[in-house]
C-alpha cells in the first residue's frame, strides 16, 4: 500500500489533530503518502481530498478541534453516495482510509470497508460511548473542562448557599456526568444509566439542605430533563436559590490533555501500521492499557457496561 487517507467525522473531539499528526508522520515512516479529506464523508463524496505533508501537521499537537474539519452528512447512508466516495479514492490510487470519530462515523467506515476500501476506525468522541474501547480520544479533555467549570460554580454556590444544576454532554452515555460528578464531589448525578425521578431527586436535595449543607451540586447528562425547570422545582421545594448551567459545546474545545495526546498517538500509529500490512476492517480500542483491534461489526454490536461501583460512590459520599 502506497497511499492512505484520513478524515474526521461527527462531533469534534480534543485530540483529533494529534491523531492526524501521528498518521502523517507514521505514513512517512512506513514509506506511504498521506492524504487529508476535508469535512468528513461530505468531502469524500465531493472529492475534496488533498496531500498531507509534514508541514501540514507541524505545531498542531496542542490544538483542539480538527484541521480537516468535520460535518454530519446523512446522505452518506445511501449506497450511491458511498460508491462515489470509493471512486474518488480509487482515482488517486488511495487504498486505505482512517476514519476518526464515533459510532456514526464507524458505520460509514464499515460501508466503505464492504466496498473494498481497507478502512480503520479510531474512536474519538467526548461522550466515551464506544463500547469497544475503555476510553475514546477527547473524553478526558472534555472531562477536565467540565470539572473546571463545576469547581467554579461550587465556589459561588457555597458562598450564597445555592444549589447548582449543571448539564454536561454525553448524548446516550453517562460517563461524562458520572466521572465529573465524582471528581467535583457532586451530591447527585442524573444519567441515562441512573434514570431520572424528579420527585426523588428533589427530595434528596431537600434532605441535603435539611442536614445544614451550605450548597448542593446536581450533575445531569444532556437530554435527561429540562435543567432550567428542574432548578425552579428544586428552589420551590427547598427555598434555596437554585441556578441551572448548561456547559454545552465548550466541552468540545480546548487544548487536548496529556492522556488524550498519548492515546491518539498510539492509536494512530497502530492504524497506519495495520494499513502498511494491507489490513482493514478494524477498529482500534484500548482495553486495560493495551490496544486491541475489532472488526467494525464487532465494535458496533458491543454493549457498554455500566460501572456500578462508580455510581455507588456518589451515593456513599453525598452525606
CB 114 within 8 A of CB 157: no
Query: 3-class SS at 185?
Result: coil
> What is the DSSP pairing of strand 49-52 with strand 33-37?
antiparallel
Active site residues: 127
Number of helices (H), then strands (E), in the chain: 11, 11
* Partners of 3 in beta bridges: 33
Can you list the pairs that 309-316 forms with residues at least 24 positions away whose Cβ atoms lie under 8 Å? Answer: 310/178, 310/179, 310/182, 311/178, 311/189, 311/193, 311/194, 313/182, 314/178, 314/181, 314/182, 314/186, 314/187, 314/188, 314/189
HSE-CB for 156 with a 13 A CA cutoff: 11
Separation in Å, CA 80 to CA 37, 39, 83, 250: 19, 19, 5, 36
The H-or-E segment that residue 25 falls in is helix 16-29
C-alpha–C-alpha distance, residues 170 and 247, integer Å:
11
The cell for 73 is 452528512
Please tell me what DSSP assigns to residue 257. P
C-alpha–C-alpha distance, residues 187 and 201, integer Å:
10
C-alpha–C-alpha distance, residues 77 and 92, integer Å:
23
Query: 3-class SS at 170?
Result: coil
Amino acid at each position: 500500500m502506497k497511499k492512505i487517507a484520513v478524515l474526521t467525522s461527527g462531533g469534534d473531539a480534543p485530540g483529533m489533530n494529534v491523531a492526524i499528526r501521528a498518521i502523517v508522520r507514521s505514513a512517512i515512516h512506513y514509506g506511504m503518502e498521506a492524504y487529508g479529506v476535508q469535512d468528513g464523508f461530505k468531502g469524500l463524496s465531493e472529492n475534496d481530498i488533498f496531500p498531507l505533508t509534514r508541514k501540514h501537521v507541524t505545531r498542531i499537537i496542542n490544538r483542539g478541534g480538527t484541521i480537516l474539519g468535520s460535518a454530519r452528512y446523512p446522505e452518506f447512508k445511501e449506497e450511491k453516495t458511498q460508491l462515489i466516495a470509493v471512486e474518488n479514492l480509487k482515482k488517486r490510487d488511495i487504498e486505505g482510509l482512517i476514519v476518526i470519530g464515533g459510532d456514526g462515523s464507524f458505520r460509514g467506515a464499515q460501508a466503505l470497508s464492504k466496498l473494498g476500501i481497507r478502512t480503520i476506525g479510531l474512536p474519538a468522541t467526548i461522550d466515551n460511548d464506544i463500547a469497544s474501547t475503555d476510553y475514546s480520544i477527547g473524553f478526558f479533555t472534555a472531562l477536565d473542562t467540565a470539572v473546571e467549570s463545576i469547581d467554579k460554580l461550587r465556589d459561588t454556590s457555597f458562598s450564597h448557599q445555592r444549589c447548582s444544576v449543571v448539564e454536561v454532554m454525553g448524548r446516550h452515555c453517562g460517563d461524562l456526568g458520572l466521572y465529573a460528578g465524582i471528581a467535583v464531589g457532586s451530591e447527585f448525578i442524573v444519567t441515562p444509566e441512573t434514570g431520572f425521578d424528579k420527585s426523588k431527586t428533589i427530595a434528596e436535595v431537600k434532605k441535603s439542605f435539611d442536614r445544614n449543607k451550605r450548597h448542593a451540586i446536581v450533575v445531569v447528562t444532556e437530554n435527561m430533563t429540562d435543567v432550567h425547570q428542574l432548578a425552579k422545582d428544586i428552589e420551590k421545594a427547598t427555598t434555596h436559590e437554585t441556578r441551572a448551567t448548561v456547559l454545552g459545546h465548550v466541552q468540545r474545545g480546548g487544548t487536548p490533555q496529556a492522556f488524550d495526546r498519548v492515546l491518539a498517538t498510539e492509536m494512530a500509529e497502530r492504524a497506519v501500521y495495520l494499513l502498511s500490512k494491507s489490513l482493514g476492517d478494524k477498529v482500534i480500542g484500548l482495553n486495560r492499557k493495551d490496544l486491541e483491534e475489532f472488526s467494525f461489526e464487532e465494535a458496533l454490536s458491543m454493549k457498554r457496561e455500566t460501572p456500578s461501583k462508580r455510581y455507588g460512590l456518589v451515593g456513599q459520599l453525598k452525606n
